[in-house]
C-alpha cells in the first residue's frame, strides 16, 4: 500500500451507549458525517446497552471491514481490544470519555473531538500501526470457568482498583466527582495489601498500596503510573508502590500526573512479559471491572492494529 491511499474505506463506527445524551451526544454523528463526506462507506452501531453493542459489533467485524472505530472512553477501547486482538481489522478511536488514557498513549487528540475526528480521517489513508496488547487469564467470578480477556492500556489491582470498585457502587455525584469522593472514602480506610507476584518467573511477596501493569503510560485521566511504558516494545511495565500512610499518599499523588513518582524509593517498575498477581483485590483493566485476583497477564506483541 502506498504511504497515502485515498481509496474509500468500509468503516464500522461503534458509539458508547452512555454517550447518547449530554455534551458528548454529537460526537458520534459528527464522526459519521465527516467520514461519509470523505467518501467512506460507514455503518454506525448505536445500541441501548453494551451487551447489544458487543453482539452487533461481533456481527459487523465478521464482514471484515477496513476499520472498526469506537467513540467513547477507555471502556470502548477495551471492547475493541477484545473484539480485534489477533485479527487484521484495525481499531480507530475518537475519544469522548472522562479518562481517554489510551488516546493519550497513542498520540490521538484527547481533549478536542474535532481534532480527533480529523486525525482519524487522515489515519484511514495510511497503513495501520501495530501495537502490543495483553491477554488476561483468570477464573470467572460467577462460574469459576477459565476465562481469557484482553486489555490495551493498563491493568490496576490496588488502591486505584478499590477506588473504582467504590465509585461503581455510588449513585451520586455523577462524573469525575464520583471518583474523587470514592478516593476520599477509601483513603480513610487505606491499609497495605499483601501481594504475591510472579514476574517472568521471579517471585515477589510484598505488602503494597498499589500494583498495576501498564502497556501504555497512564490511567485515570492522565496519571502516568508507568511513564516509560511503550505500546510496541513487546514488554509490560509492572508498577509496585510500597505501603503508604494517608499523608504519604497525599504527598506522592500529585507527582503521578508528571510521572516523577518513579523517583521515590517506595516505587519500583519491573519490565515483564508475563505476570501473575495474587491478592485479595478485584482487578480492573482499561477502567473496566475484570475479576477478583488471582490473574495471569501476558503481553502479546503486535496483537492489535490501530489507526494512530
Q: What is the mean pLDDT of each run of 10 residues along the chain (308 residues)?
A: 75 84 74 96 94 96 97 94 97 91 94 94 96 97 93 94 84 72 88 97 97 94 94 98 94 95 97 98 94 97 97
What local confidence, expressed as pLDDT, does residue 2 receive?
A: 45
pLDDT of residue 252: 95
145 Ramachandran zone, left/alpha/beta (phi>0; psi -120 to 50)? beta
pLDDT confidence of residue 24: 61
Instruction: Please list the alpha-helical segments (H only) found in the chain.
Output: 27-37, 50-62, 74-84, 101-106, 113-123, 159-168, 176-188, 246-256
Length of the chain: 308
* pLDDT score for 1: 41
At CA 223, angle to CA 304 and CA 230, rounded to 5? 35
pTM of the model: 0.92
Residue 3 has a pLDDT of: 64
Separation CA 161–CA 59 (nearest Å): 32
C-alpha cell at 4: 497515502
Distances (CA, A) of 183 to 157, 192, 244: 15, 15, 14
CB-side exposure of 140: number of CA atoms within 13 Å?
8
pLDDT at 164: 81
Please tell me the predicted confidence (pLDDT) of residue 177.
73
111: CB partners within 8 A, 6+ apart: 100
pLDDT of residue 176: 61
Amino acid at each position: 500500500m502506498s504511504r497515502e491511499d485515498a481509496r474509500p474505506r468500509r468503516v464500522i463506527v461503534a458509539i458508547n451507549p452512555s454517550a447518547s445524551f449530554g455534551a458528548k451526544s454529537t460526537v458520534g454523528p459528527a464522526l459519521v458525517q465527516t467520514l461519509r463526506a470523505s467518501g467512506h462507506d460507514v455503518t454506525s452501531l448505536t445500541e441501548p446497552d453494551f451487551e447489544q453493542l458487543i453482539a452487533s459489533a461481533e456481527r459487523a467485524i465478521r464482514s471484515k471491514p477496513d476499520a472498526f472505530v469506537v467513540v467513547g472512553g477507555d471502556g470502548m477501547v477495551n471492547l475493541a481490544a477484545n473484539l480485534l486482538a489477533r485479527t487484521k481489522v484495525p481499531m480507530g478511536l475518537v475519544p469522548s470519555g472522562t479518562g481517554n488514557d489510551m488516546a493519550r498513549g497513542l498520540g490521538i487528540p484527547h481533549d478536542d473531538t474535532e481534532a480527533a475526528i480529523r486525525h482519524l480521517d487522515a489515519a484511514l489513508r495510511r497503513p495501520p500501526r501495530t501495537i502490543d496488547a495483553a491477554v488476561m487469564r483468570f477464573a470467572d467470578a460467577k462460574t469459576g470457568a477459565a476465562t481469557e480477556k484482553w486489555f490495551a492500556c493498563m491493568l490496576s489491582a490496588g488502591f486505584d482498583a478499590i477506588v473504582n470498585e467504590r465509585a461503581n457502587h455510588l449513585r451520586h455525584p455523577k462524573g469525575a466527582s464520583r471518583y474523587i469522593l470514592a478516593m476520599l472514602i477509601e483513603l480513610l480506610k487505606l491499609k497495605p495489601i499483601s501481594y504475591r507476584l510472579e514476574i517472568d518467573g521471579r517471585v515477589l511477596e510484598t505488602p503494597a498500596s498499589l500494583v498495576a501493569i501498564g502497556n501504555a503510560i497512564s490511567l485515570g485521566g492522565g496519571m502516568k503510573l508507568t511513564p516509560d511504558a511503550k505500546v510496541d516494545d513487546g514488554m509490560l511495565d509492572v508498577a509496585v508502590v510500597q505501603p503508604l500512610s494517608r499523608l504519604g499518599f497525599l504527598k506522592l499523588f500529585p507527582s503521578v500526573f508528571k510521572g516523577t513518582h518513579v523517583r521515590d524509593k517506595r516505587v519500583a517498575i519491573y519490565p515483564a512479559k508475563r505476570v501473575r498477581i495474587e491478592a485479595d483485590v478485584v482487578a480492573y483493566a482499561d477502567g473496566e471491572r475484570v475479576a477478583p485476583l488471582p490473574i495471569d497477564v501476558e503481553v502479546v506483541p503486535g496483537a492489535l492494529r490501530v489507526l494512530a
